[in-house]
Amino acid sequence: MVRQTAVQMGVDPALALAVAEQESSFRQNVTSPVGAVGVMQIMPANRDWLAGMTGRPNLDLNKTADNIAGGIAMLRWLRAEAKNLDEAIAGYYQGLGSVQSRGMYDDTKAYVAQVKARMATF
């Protein structure tokens, strides 16, 4: 489902798969300690923004297809707005505004390296 949605949305499937694996090991029924949910580990506060980007006004982050669509829409936006792939991946984890104004935190640098290593396997 991740690969198919990425292709449909014009996002590198290897990137989408790597983020999904890194974030949740492809599991929908997980919630992070900070409240991010699902396969793509999306913060509920981003739901309305992502609903507009996916064209799904009733985007339900607890539904696998919607969660994946939302995460991939975010990746598509990040790839368009970030200076390069590393900044886009970092933006998914840390927030693009934070990355651009503060630079990548050490844990963000580790996240980027992990996602890129996973991309190589896809």
Cβ contacts of 50 within 8 Å, gap of 6 or more: 42, 59, 69, 70, 73, 74
For residue 104 the two structure tokens come to 């990548």
- Looking at residue 79, its pLDDT comes to 98
How far is 49 from 115, CA to CA, in rounded Å? 24
Rounded mean pLDDT of the chain?
97
How far is 67 from 104, CA to CA, in rounded Å? 26
- Looking at residue 53, its pLDDT comes to 94
pTM for this one? 0.96
DSSP secondary structure letter of residue 33: T
How far is 67 from 47, CA to CA, in rounded Å? 9
In this predicted model, what pLDDT tens digit does every residue of 13-35 receive, in sequence order?
Answer: 999 999 999 999 999 999 999 99
